[in-house]
């Protein structure tokens, strides 16, 4: 008689691995940290009959986590090609703060602005289009453009309005980059919550 065994069902959201090149430390995916052998959650997990599996490195563990856990739990910015484990639960390394701030800045920068109550795209293509139109408006005072807003409606912009829109967009984009630079330079910022708060400024311009 051939014995059959049920496959191990890994819950990547809350599982433990032993990472060889980190002195065989125990890694917790639920908290994205290394834990002690006496850790209460690890002890309870083993008490359910689970067995910790060895893995050579964080680099080799990363694709496993991306397969077995939600992408939101292990976003791209977290892994730098070598490491992704946080120094403590809910805390980030300086490199992780830098990567997360860049990700938040990109989303903020390209997420659109509201100018004089109207919504405009602010992605890189829109930035180029607005800059080109503003350059044309500076040359031709009679300039007009039938501009499509991010909500799908159209608005006619004259030369003055186009230049004002360009100036507002540039102010917003520079604010995004300045905030990123200030965030990664501030050693007291060590959590995603703090980074999010730094980017909590308004995208509305009058």
Predicted local distance difference test score (pLDDT) of residue 36: 97
Identify the sign of the CA torsion 114, 116, 121, 127. negative
Q: How many residues comprise the chain?
A: 206
Provide the CB-side half-sphere exposure for 54 (13 A, CA).
Answer: 6
Look at residue 5 in the predicted model and tell me its pLDDT: 37
Given the structure tokens 């980030």, which residue do they identify? 92
Instruction: Give me the residues paired with residue 25 across strands.
Output: 19
Record the tokens describing residue 153, joined without a space: 């409606």
Q: What are phi and psi of 145, to 5 degrees?
A: -140, 135
At how many degrees (to 10) do helices 159-185 and 124-139 cross? 140
Q: Residue with structure tokens 């999010």?
A: 196
pLDDT at residue 8, as a whole number:
58
* pTM, rounded to two decimals: 0.90
What tokens appear for 28 in the block? 């917790």
CA distance 110 to 126: 9
Pull the structure tokens for residue 68. Answer: 């077995």
pLDDT in the model for residue 154: 98
Written as six digits, the tokens of 2 are 């051939």
Looking at the DSSP bridge assignments, the partners of residue 114 are 119, 204
What integer pLDDT is reported at residue 7 of this predicted model? 47
Give the list of residues 6+ apart from residue 25 with CB closer than 8 angstroms, or none.
18, 19, 34, 35
| pLDDT for residue 6 | 40
Q: Mean pLDDT in runs of 10 for the chain (206 residues)?
A: 52 95 97 97 96 96 95 96 96 98 98 98 98 98 97 98 98 98 98 98 97
């Amino acid at each position: 008689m051939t014995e059959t065994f049920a496959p191990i069902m890994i819950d990547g959201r809350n599982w433990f691995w032993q990472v060889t090149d980190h002195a065989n430390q125990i890694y917790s995916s639920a908290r994205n940290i290394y834990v002690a052998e006496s850790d209460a959650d690890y002890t309870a997990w083993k008490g359910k009959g689970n067995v910790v599996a060895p893995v050579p490195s964080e680099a080799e563990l990363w694709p496993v986590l991306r397969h077995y856990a939600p992408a939101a739990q292990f976003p791209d910015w977290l892994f730098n090609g070598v490491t992704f484990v946080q120094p403590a639960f809910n805390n980030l390394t300086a490199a992780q703060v830098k990567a997360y701030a860049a990700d938040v800045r990109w989303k903020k920068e390209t997420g659109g602005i509201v100018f004089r109550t109207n919504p405009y795209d602010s992605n890189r293509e829109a930035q180029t289009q607005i800059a080109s139109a503003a350059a044309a408006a500076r040359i031709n005072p009679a300039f007009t453009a039938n501009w499509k807003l991010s909500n799908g409606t159209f608005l006619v912009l004259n030369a003055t309005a186009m230049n004002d829109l360009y100036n507002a967009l540039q102010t917003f984009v520079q604010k995004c980059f300045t905030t990123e630079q200030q965030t990664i330079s501030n050693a007291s910022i060590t959590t995603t919550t703090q980074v999010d708060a730094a980017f909590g400024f308004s995208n509305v311009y009058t």
